[in-house]
Structure 1
Amino acid sequence: MTKLKYVYEALNRASSYLQEKGREEGAARILLQHEMGLSYSGLISSMRDEISEQQFERFWTNIESHAKGIPVQHLTGSEEFYGRNFLVNSDVLIPRPETEELIEETLQLIERHLSKKELAIADIGTGSGIIAITLKCELPEAQVVATDISQKALDMAAKNAERLNADIDFRLGDLAEPIEGEKWDVILSNPPYIAYAEAPGLSDSVRDFEPHHALFADNEGLALYEKMAKQFPKMLNKPGIIGFEIGYQQGQAVEKMLKDAFPDALVYSKKDINKNDRMVFALID
């Protein structure tokens, strides 16, 4: 490979290479920022700086890894979510922008419907901890508990909580079982909701590198919603809020589950920025 001297040359070569391999060329910029420890503006202002041979070799190794399908976030070890930086690895689902919309709607519902300052909030299937930690940071007075069936996921979530100074009670167990017998004002969950039959249609970066226990569920992806809808009636305070992230075709089915579980609740679906059904909420008075 011809030796490169400048940062802009490295970026151009990597962008072209990723494009040839059918990957998003923008990943080159993210990986170059990571290698050089620069912000976006810092990278732009450094385009005419020289890049060392060692820096380029490490950068190119990551470019080749991404070309093979390894997610950029696994190579950098982090992802931004709701204005904060979260550590991620192959044990947890990479945070998605759609989940930020779940947070945003929940905060608005809390402001309108729950007047108590010290809320009891539960995050079921926390993964990297993004929902629980974000809510604790946004609502410092809240008591926040997070569960996950994976100890490795909880270990990553605990690291994120420590880095972001969020006091979270993490509990190991299946869905809501670790918090049964307690009462909650808000229960949120972004559970596995992809049907196994959909696996061939997923990008290889998702299908081959993200944890399957955080992606797939039985009964066309609806199994965990069914289980939680049966668990929650004994656990939710009145007034209370339930919020689920869902697959874009699951709105009606998940709405029905919550209406059956909470006949007097206001249950509704909300679309994401791409106009797809992405959240279902239940407001219990």
Structure 2
Amino acid sequence: MRNFVREKKIYCGENYMEVDLYSLSEYQLEKKKGKRSKKKYVSLPKQEKMNDKNARRRFIQLAETNFGQDDIFLSLTYKDIYLPKSYDDAQREIRNYLRRLKDRMKSQGVEEELRYIVVTSMREPRGDDKGVRYHHHLLLSCGLDRDMIEDCWRRPRRKGQKKGDLIGYADSKRIQEDINAGILGLANYLAKHTSYKRKWSCSKNLERPFERTNDHKYSRKRLIQYALNPYDIERWEKIYPGWTVADKDFGIEAKYNDFTGWAVYLKLRRKIKNKLLE
């Protein structure tokens, strides 16, 4: 039975793409050799624990598809007095926060929809801690300035108060894209950081990444050649014009399996044109 090399491109928005190159048998092929597949949307991982490598990868793809330059990365913590007693309490608190954001957007005349991914982190008690410590990280697009976003991390106002009590620390920053950091660096941090247990959820209006496959571009001989010398960035830039490796340390991976042979995985980012040279 003959083997083929499949190229699978996973498109995540306009500026980020992942490429998988791997062998599979004629029996495994869904389409006849030489045919290019139709667009197929990537299924999302369950919005729970990110303890599976494929689930973490899907999380990164979703983040790359929907967030980027000038969107917001927000971290929210709790004062001891307001520390949630359970995960459900923490989720209730973050839902209330998102509702306050929507109210602030409406009062400010913001017409765009709120888009977000929220990761809730849980650290087991240690030292003088009396319970699980919770905090939240959000990738956010809402049309509000950072001061307004941070100011919504408050409890409802009580009688005689101009503003409700701050729940904890709120720290936001604008996402700045470059080759080695930006949204990919943040998504990798959220997906891989292991000192906390993490669960995540997202707004329903996010765009999903999609994939296409091609079964005639690479030969097995060429795949082996590339897998044995995978870190030739100039070569990948020639094969995929207009793209470069997104992460110099973790953007290229070559693996060997006794059953399927070699496979290569690439994380690519679209090259940014220098406007001064145009």
The structure with more helix, counted as a fraction of residues: 1
Larger radius of gyration: 2
Q: Which has the higher contact order (CA 8 A, sep 6+)?
A: 2
Q: Report if TM-score (shorter chain) is over 0.5.
A: no
Q: Calculate the TM-score normalised by the size of structure 1.
A: 0.26
1 or 2, which has the higher strand percentage? 2
Using the size of structure 2 for normalisation, the TM-score is: 0.26
